[in-house]
Amino acid sequence: MTTRPRRATAVVANVHLAPDDRGPFLARAVAAVSPGGHLFVSGHHLDSFGRAGPPFPERLYTEELLAGLLSPLAAQVRRHVRPPGEAGSSPLVDVVAWAGAPGGSGGGR
């Protein structure tokens, strides 16, 4: 019998920690991804400040910030604009990342 390699996938969604806590938290999430595994992260973009997410701008994300926090994983980081929920309201902006650890057969999304 052959055993398929295990590929850990971690999901972090809408976790908006203080900067001093965010780095270590995401470093642990990155470390939890085994070779060939993936990490999915989403959170409110700084451009949504005052409309969504915490009332502290330093807890929000930008594409560049999130990409740096997910290193050394190979990450695709994108800005995602959600349509306004009510007439006359502004759209909400999120940051979404899909990161993969090298090794293993990887699999698709």
Position 83 scores a pLDDT of 83
Position 106 scores a pLDDT of 44
Position 10 scores a pLDDT of 83
**What is the rounded CA–CA span in Å between residue 48 and residue 100?**
27
**What is the rounded CA–CA span in Å between residue 109 and residue 94?**
19
For residue 4, being part of any structural domain is answered with yes
For residue 92, being part of any structural domain is answered with no
**Secondary structure letter of residue 7 according to DSSP:** -
Domain extent, residue 68, equals 1-36+55-86
Count of domains for the chain: 1
Low-confidence ranges of the chain (pLDDT < 70): 1-7, 86-88, 104-109
